[in-house]
């Protein structure tokens, strides 16, 4: 008990704004590390389990921000940030805002200017792990913006995982985030499309996975995720507990827009975005990204087997 009290006294107070699955994970990790925590969410009921663990729920964003020297924000996008924080008036002045939503580099740079106009110190960031890994030593968090602000908040940021400062350009964190996510989505799409391809001949995804990743993974990446999830493809089991198709579509939209902003070929991310939109239209919006498998299968079924042209 003494150790807990000492840790609590030494840890800086933090506010978390936005209590979706990731926001709750951030708040939980901060509580675990002994930070006095204030939380705010537009749906107050989402704070109940955190309050039961020792957090304080603020009635307004102004009250929440005023409670701590640093506020960690995890909302849907930059537009939502403005919508939530503008009514707070002058309350954020003199405090630090760490923004962990996703978007594009231009949006991050505009947010940095917006925060400066309101007297806030600002870091833009990106979370590179799913909610269950937040707070673990190997959980990678990317940050960009003032090095001085990053160093000042490093101890608090380290409570969430491994903080990596990428540079003073506020757009660097979200730029790296979209690049890494595009790599992830392209790999995922390739696997799902390949499983649907052999599935058209009645081959179960779990059987194909042993061959596919026995060949592919040793030379590309060491990860058992695809092997573990293959059985779920065969059962059409796509729980969205750790991230829904709707949430992933938001990321895909940012990848497509970032590609356009950066002046590079954007057709691939747009195609991935369109396929995700089809999955949502087919009723998989609340399922995981793996439900894309059903889109690929339906397309193959609708087209039927290919035949040689005369």
Secondary-structure class of domain 2-170 per CATH: alpha beta
The domains of the chain are located at 2-170, 175-303
Judge whether residue 271 has pLDDT over 80.
yes
CATH of domain 175-303: 1.10.1040.10
pLDDT score at 255:
87
Judge whether residue 299 has pLDDT over 70.
no
Question: Each residue of 10-50: pLDDT tens digit?
Answer: 689 999 999 999 999 999 999 999 999 999 999 999 999 99
**Over residues 129-149, mean pLDDT:** 95
Q: Which residues contact 148 (CB under 8 A, 6 or more apart)?
A: none
Query: Which single residue is written with the structure tokens 């800086």?
Result: 12
Question: Each residue of 174-215: pLDDT tens digit?
Answer: 999 999 998 889 988 988 988 988 898 999 999 999 888 887
Judge whether residue 304 has pLDDT over 60.
no
Residue 268 pLDDT level (bands cut at 50, 70, 90): confident
pLDDT score at 307:
42
Q: What is the pTM of this model?
A: 0.80
Residue 100 pLDDT level (bands cut at 50, 70, 90): very high
């Amino acid at each position: 008990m003494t150790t807990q009290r000492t840790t609590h006294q030494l840890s800086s107070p933090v506010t978390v704004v936005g209590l979706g699955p990731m926001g709750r994970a951030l708040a939980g990790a901060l509580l675990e590390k002994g930070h006095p925590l204030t939380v705010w969410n537009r749906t107050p009921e989402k704070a109940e389990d955190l309050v039961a663990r020792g957090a304080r729920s603020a009635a307004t964003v102004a009250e929440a921000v005023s409670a701590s020297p640093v506020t960690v924000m995890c909302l849907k996008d930059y537009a939502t940030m403005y919508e939530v924080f503008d009514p707070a008036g002058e309350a954020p002045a003199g405090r630090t805002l760490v923004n962990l939503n996703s978007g594009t580099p231009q949006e991050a740079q505009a947010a940095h200017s917006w925060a400066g106009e309101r007297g806030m110190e600002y870091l833009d960031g990106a979370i590179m792990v799913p909610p269950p890994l937040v707070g673990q030593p190997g959980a990678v968090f990317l940050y960009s913006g003032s090095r001085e602000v990053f160093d000042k908040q490093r101890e608090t940021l380290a409570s969430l995982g491994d903080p990596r400062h990428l540079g003073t350009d506020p757009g660097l964190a979200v730029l790296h985030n979209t690049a890494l996510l595009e790599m992830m989505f392209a790999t995922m799409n390739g696997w799902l499309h390949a499983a649907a391809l052999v599935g058209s001949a009645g081959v179960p995804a779990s059987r194909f996975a042993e061959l596919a990743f026995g060949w592919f993974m040793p030379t590309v990446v060491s990860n058992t995720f695809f092997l573990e999830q293959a059985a779920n493809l065969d059962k059409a089991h796509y729980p969205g507990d750790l991230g829904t198709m709707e949430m992933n579509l938001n990321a895909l939209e940012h990848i497509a827009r970032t590609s356009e902003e950066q002046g590079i070929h954007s057709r691939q991310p747009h195609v991935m975005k369109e396929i995700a939109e089809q999955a949502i239209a087919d009723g998989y919006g609340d399922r995981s990204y793996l439900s894309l498998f059903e889109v690929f299968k339906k397309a193959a079924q609708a087209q039927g087997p290919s035949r040689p042209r005369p």
